[in-house]
Amino acid sequence: MISLKKKILFIVTKSEPGGAQKFVYEQILISKNNFDCFLCTDTEGWLFQAASAHLAGSVLNERIKEVSFSFFFTLCKFIRKYDIDLVVCNSAYAGIYGRLAAVLTGRKSIFVSHGWSSVYQGRGLSGIFNLIENGLSTIGSAILCISNNDYHTALKKIGISKNRLHVIQNKTFSQLSVLKPEFSPDKPLKILTVARLDYPKRVDLALAAFGNYSDVHVYIVGGGSQETALKDQVKNDEILNFTFLGSIENFSSFQDYDLFLLLSDSEGLPMSAIEAMSCGLPLLLSDVGGCEELIANNGVLVKNNIEAIREGLSYCLDNREQFSTASLNLFNERFNLSLHREEYINYYNSVMKKN
């Protein structure tokens, strides 16, 4: 039977667990009843395995992570073969390939910002990367900013035209499966970090601030290039209150912890922090990127120095019950994907209808 639905291709460079991958997976879940969904990524990793049952088709190619003309033409061929209507691009390489392939095949495209790596991770080459991003914005149909901070960065630092930009703050499904147990003052505070252990994340700062800190135990969920060095530091410094749990697919046990910690040199609007909010956890976040949009009397923003981080923890402890209630309320008001899914569906339809 020929489907009469519009067709959306979601493209992301890597299939491993991460914020952009979580975003793509949940977009497929909320879109599958309205559109035929397709996926382009590197391998049969976490994202592909999680999403495969909901896909009308896919293309897997590890050359998406490098400059490859053969992959580019493979992507164009796939778009034509399945008559894709909209290409939704996530991450740097995917953003380049997806927008160029869309314009070459005469399709609409959306680039999802996820924190503007051209600004925050370009380092000495940021100016060049921003010029490239500005040029790509002129050939793509639209840019979806996942935070108000990303929107203002696009306008002021990259110089992207306002009429190309749209903001929908990151949203996710609730992770609350059971009621969160009350905090016990007789047990160490259980602090949770869920993050890929790569730049720009700063688990090293957490170690410096809370290593062997009294009445605190920090649990780290995630893997990455820094994992071995961080574990070696814990072993060499005889730090007893840090536990590395490794990469856990579909981690959802936020309610088993007392506070969520995310220290980083740059962020878009971190999905893991939003998931923690859905379980009523107070937030202790670096004051970078869009993190301030997640704080409304439910946690603390801190500078990336040991004194500020420790003071932030103390303030969270003094207000933990109030912060816990506020986190859950704020999540349902602004970040619950189950309640706000139509924002994305309507946006995709509006872009496909553009002349």
Domains of the chain: 6-171+337-352 (3.40.50.2000), 189-335 (3.40.50.2000)
Dihedral sign from CA coordinates of 247, 57, 67, 139: negative
pLDDT averaged per 10 residues, the chain (length 355):
88 93 97 98 97 98 96 98 98 94 98 84 73 91 96 95 97 81 76 95 97 95 96 96 94 95 95 96 97 98 98 96 96 97 98 90
Q: Which of 109, 6, 110, 125 is nearest to 56 (CA)?
A: 6
Task: Please tell me the predicted confidence (pLDDT) of residue 176.
Answer: 85
Q: How far apart are CA 226 and CA 145, in angstroms?
A: 28
Task: Please tell me the predicted confidence (pLDDT) of residue 121.
Answer: 62
Q: How far from 297 is each of 148, 283, 287, 303, CA to CA, in Å?
A: 19, 10, 15, 18
Tokens 């856990």 sit at which residue?
Answer: 248
Q: How far apart are CA 73 and CA 104, in angstroms?
A: 10
Task: Please tell me the predicted confidence (pLDDT) of residue 195.
Answer: 95
Cβ-count burial 72-102 (b if 16+ within 10 Å, e if not) = bebbbebbeeeebbbbbbbbbbbbbbbbbbb
Does the bond joining 17 to the residue before it have cis omega, within 30 degrees of 0? no
Decide the pairing of beta strands 35-41 and 6-12.
Answer: parallel
Task: Please tell me the predicted confidence (pLDDT) of residue 46.
Answer: 94
Residues 6+ apart with CB under 8 A from 125: none
Task: Please tell me the predicted confidence (pLDDT) of residue 89.
Answer: 98
Burial class of 331 by CB neighbour count within 10 A (0 to 12, 13 to 18, 19+): buried
C-alpha dihedral (35, 36, 39, 45), degrees to nearest 10: 100
